[in-house]
């Protein structure tokens, strides 16, 4: 997504689109998220915080919450993470985001 803002030291912005679907039989509330970015030089950046895009979505069984955001990187990177929340019974939940790769375009920006 070259049209997105990116600092000179991390010139490659990558947009991502997330769909969270409550496949359980209980209401769930997403309270936090964590992203782990590892670049080709071995640098690790952890991005974590409350909610997702400023919200703490409460999803009934079968409901979906969608959002998009982006990360900026200096080189090809691997990304993984998790969402954290609580269900209607008060039990904590964690949903892992499997690793995926951000590959910069050949030829640069």
Interval 11-39: pLDDT, tens: 888 888 889 999 999 999 999 999 999 98
In this structure, CATH architecture of domain 12-102: Sandwich (2.60)
Beta partners for 95? 83
Pairwise CA distance, residues 24 & 22, whole Å: 6
Lowest mean pLDDT among 3-7, 25-29, 54-58: 3-7
CA nearest neighbour of 86 among 18, 26, 4, 9: 26
Residue 41 is predicted with a pLDDT of 84
pTM to 2 decimal places:
0.82
């Amino acid at each position: 997504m070259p049209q997105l803002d990116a600092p000179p030291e991390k010139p490659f912005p990558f947009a991502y689109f997330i769909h969270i679907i409550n496949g359980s039989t209980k209401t769930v509330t997403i309270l936090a998220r964590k992203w782990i970015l590892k670049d080709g030089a071995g640098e690790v950046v952890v991005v974590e915080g409350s909610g997702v895009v400023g919200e703490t979505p409460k999803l009934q069984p079968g409901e979906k919450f969608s959002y998009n955001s982006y990360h900026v990187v200096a080189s090809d990177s691997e990304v993984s993470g998790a969402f954290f929340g609580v269900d209607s019974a008060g039990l904590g939940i964690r949903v892992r985001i499997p690793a995926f790769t951000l590959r910069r375009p050949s030829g640069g920006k």
